[in-house]
Amino acid sequence: MAIDTILLAVGPMDTVRAEELAETALEVAEPLDATVVIGHAFTEDEYEEIRADLGFDERVDEVDPDEVAARRSPVGDLEKRFSEAGVDYEVRGALGDVASKVVDMAIDVDADRMVVGGRRRSPAEKAVLGSVSQEIILQAPCPVTYFRDLDVME
């Protein structure tokens, strides 16, 4: 199976590990000349909280998720890293349930591989609060590389 497209799913908490996530994606993308899709899904509540900071006057039903994603952290850092490495990339955004939107994004871009970051949580925390990365892994349409950062807590 050829790897042409890698979906790197990120969220605002991934800012602290953006370099490591980029390196993880680049380990596969560079030698295979694959395209990296930087995917950032966010909920309507998250959008409403940050829309003024991003300079958007539109309400959530008028928003272009790709445009919001391009302006959210850590996307800019990742774009710079992929550009410096000479790897083709694009930015995709999605609005709604984060886990299901990331899986939908992987299907839409026909991802051959996904890279997802996660945080350390106890089993009790996962049971009560859920785990977005776990849902993505369980529903993914392709193999997933899980980057676990032990220093980042949710």
Domains of the chain and any CATH numbers: 5-153 (3.40.50.620)
Backbone angles phi, psi at 70, to 5 degrees: -65, -20
> Residue 77 is which amino acid?
D
How high is the mean pLDDT of the chain? Answer: 86
How far apart CA 66 and CA 43 sit, in angstroms, is: 13
pLDDT at position 16 is 87
How far apart CA 37 and CA 5 sit, in angstroms, is: 7
How far apart CA 9 and CA 74 sit, in angstroms, is: 11
pLDDT single digits (tens) 17-39 = 899 999 999 999 999 999 999 99
Model pTM above 0.85: yes
pLDDT at position 58 is 65
> Residue 93 is which amino acid?
G
pLDDT single digits (tens) 74-120 = 999 999 999 999 999 999 999 999 999 999 999 999 999 999 987 66
Question: Which neighbouring-strand residues pair with 81?
Answer: none
Q: Is pLDDT at 130 greater than 70 in this prediction?
A: no
